[in-house]
Amino acid sequence: MVRVKITSKQTKGSAIINAKKKIMVFFIGGAGDKNSYYGYGPTELVKKTILYALKKRIAAYILISPDIEYLGYEEIRGEDDIKKNVIDKIENKDIPIYIVGHSLGGWNSAHLCKRLVNDGYNIRMLVTLDPVGEGILVYVGSDIYKEPETNPCAKTWINISCIPIDEDQSDKVADFGERWFPKNGPTIYYESKCSHAEVLKMFMENILQGKSAFDLLIEDIVK
């Protein structure tokens, strides 16, 4: 909550009013999520699950004013795309920014996050959901950062990596791209038994003292 004090010269008094807290949230989908990927998709998996869940929850907080952007992983790499899809959407560098990326979107989000932090933006939290991108072959056909894994330097970094008991088709795709298991960098690192496509389930799973990544995200937004 942001509290603003206004003083009136006429009355020599003052009043306290509540101003809305501005935040920025970027949801970054993986291959075939927002845009078609070699004829597959778009599935809008991230939009229909975790983005919808956040919009529904955040609506209860009338003093939070969120700007929410939904992007494909391929829309946050390259100077022109970063400027158009990210930088131009951010009102100023002080606004708290939250980034949630899945699959290839998790890999690209980590690299984007580091770039924004280095440029002075206020990245409060990065959530990477079963990030994928370490495979050499995936570089050839996907618009992802070619640099090796990175520490994104967000104030809080939550990573959930999936090690499913019974793999489905989405897990085979993730295995082909090679999952990224960043065990040493994240503030919270958690291994889930969810399949790669179970985005909402892993986002809502208890990962720390009975709280999910979703709970921890909301807590940080509203504090």
- Per-residue pLDDT tens over the stretch 83-128: 999 999 999 999 999 999 999 999 999 999 999 999 999 999 999 9
Is the bond preceding residue 182 a cis peptide, omega within 30 degrees? no
- Taking a C-beta distance cutoff of 8 angstroms, is the pair 160, 213 a contact? yes
Q: Could you tell me the two tokens for 87?
A: 């930088």
CA–CA dist 9, 28 (Å, integer): 49
Q: Rounded to the nearest 5°, which phi and psi values hold at 198?
A: -85, 65
- Per-residue pLDDT tens over the stretch 61-88: 999 999 999 999 999 998 999 999 999 9
CA–CA dist 57, 44 (Å, integer): 19
Q: Please give the full DSSP string across 192-217, using - where no structure is assigned.
A: E-S-TT-HHHHHHSEEETTEEHHHHH
pLDDT of amino acid 10? 45
- Give the 3-state secondary structure percentages of the chain, helix then strand then coil, rounded to 5: 35, 30, 35
**Whole-prediction pTM:** 0.91
CA–CA dist 100, 126 (Å, integer): 6
